[in-house]
Structure 1
């Protein structure tokens, strides 16, 4: 699929790479959700794959938030599991017998951050990676597992701050909190991950998969909680707070791109302006 917003590259029998390529800001669209769901299902039958790497071909954006203006374009729930597609992708990646590794450069927010949280290992560029859950700032709630996975990594209070404030967080903070596995200088990121991936691919596949499954028993949220989160997210998209914001004229073109670079800041300023107008 040459025009796909996702590129799957098989570098060897044991290694594969998924690259997000949905310019200009790598929003999670229905097309991305559909294709990623197809790829994950295809790889489930692969008895050789040991490591699946995720990266981005879009400068300054790893994987962004949902394209809420086109939420109706997202795929239907998975026929076999009954789960919503984005939840199904995250669950399958978390429980797959292969190891998933994120190479994170650029903004990683909302559904994109939730996908990153579902990966086994996350390596971030110190200079270029930023993280956030902006949903509350748009009058909805996270639906892809952020409220279930983030507290297990960073603690309840830090997860509350991240979700309730819709701030963007740099890689230094993300590493200190435990949001990512490591943050490395951008010039060193690829070499470090390449070495780690080669090491994992050289190990015994059964031992890797078994060790991952054992750790999952202690670390993963219940799948029923993930299902409930997506349902609560969908419910908030029908409520007056979100509908009022969705009805307002949306920025377009370069203005929309510039907002994505500093979304955490923009959401806070917009909320304060609305509050000031209501108080007049």
Structure 2
């Protein structure tokens, strides 16, 4: 369903950069994308000028989608035994970075894609086109990229339980009302709003931005150990018999319905459970 992922890094000004995903047709997160993202985020850690980084997509209808299940065996591993998993290290660095990260969300973002958006400092969504979800439990596995740790801090325990346990899709109006995103805007206004926010933050004092973000982080970020434990739980769940049976059922639906499964994944996960 996917081709090797392309991640484009553009340095828009000395203080700003944009990371754009392009993995048609549905922007699945694949191992090489995780490695490249980790390289970019680590590189920004050493950059004395960067103040704002924006994540966006070139693929219509998809921001950043869930991880490609067919590539689960190729998940990148850390170089050293005591290092955190590559994905976990990347999102922890992103949340703690001295710069401000912004997700400009137009289209579907689920699983790993949603977890990357949650790791960003600000999330602005297209009211007409953004869709959110954590579909893992519905196919017999668990979130491993930070969704179970970050969602409760954003939307509350009960809403996080509903979102994670039900595995359904949520539109931008619900996401905004719950606090899943910073705000939802009319699609025609999204880019201009993000650009204006980037320009405003880039004009501010870098040290003030960094210090203020670190103060908020002390009150809001999940412990690193919890994020590492979740990734381990996700990897372990990939061997669950329940997952293997549901993966076959979902694969049958994909063969029959094609890309419509990715467009309406929350609905099809329920159908896969009825046939598994």
Q: TM-score, normalised by structure 1?
A: 0.93
CA contact (8 A) 2:246 2:273 kept: no
Distance 1:59 1:237 in 2: 30
Distance in 2 of aligned mates of 1:109 and 1:256: 18
Distance of 2:148 and 2:79 partners within structure 1: 22
Report the TM-score when normalising by structure 2: 0.95
- Determine if contact 1:9/1:16 at 8 Å carries over to the other structure: yes
Deviation string for 1:218-265 (max 9, x for gaps)? 000000000000011111111211122345582567943210000001
Report deviation, 1:78: 5.2
Structure 2 counterpart of 1:265:
267
Distance in 2 (CA, whole Å) between partners of 1:254 and 1:268 is 16
Deviation at 1:199, TM superposition (A): 0.3
Distance in 2 (alpha carbons) for counterparts of 1:57 and 1:80:
36
CA deviation map 1:147-193 (0-9, x unaligned): 00000000000000000000100000000000000000000111111
1:74 deviates by 2.0
Q: Which moved more, 1:83-92 or 1:130-139?
A: 83-92
1:32 aligned onto 2:12? no
Q: In structure 2, do the counterparts of structure 1 residues 6 and 253 end up closer, same or farther at CA, with 3 Å as the change threshold?
A: farther
Match of residue 256, structure 1, among 255, 258, 263: 258
Please identify runs of 4+ aligned residues in structure 1 that moved more than 4 A: 251-254
Give, in angstroms, the shift of residue 42 of structure 1. Answer: 1.3
CA contact (8 A) 1:26 1:61 kept: yes
Give the Å deviation of 1:80.
9.1
CA contact (8 A) 2:249 2:273 kept: no
2:67 maps to 1:61? no
Provide the secondary structure at the position in 2 that maps to 1:128: coil
Gaps of at least 5 residues in structure 1 are 275-280
Cα separation, 2, equivalents of 1:265 and 1:95: 35
CA distance in 2, matches of 1:273, 1:138: 12
- Matched with 1:196 is 197
Residue 78 of structure 1 contacts residue 88 of structure 1 at CA under 8 Å; is this kept in 2? Answer: no
Q: Distance in 2 between matches of 1:91 and 1:107?
A: 23
1:1-280 paired onto structure 2 within 5 Å: 5-77=6-78, 79=80, 82-247=83-248, 250-251=251-252, 255-274=257-276
Flag the 1:198–1:166 CA change in 2: closer, same or farther, 3 A. same
More divergent stretch after superposition (46-55 vs 245-254): 245-254
Quick one: distance in 2 between partners of 1:81 and 1:231? 13
CA distance 1:98–1:78, change in 2 (3 Å): farther
Kept after mapping to 2: 8 A contact 1:124/1:184:
yes
Aligned-residue Cα RMSD (Å) equals: 1.6
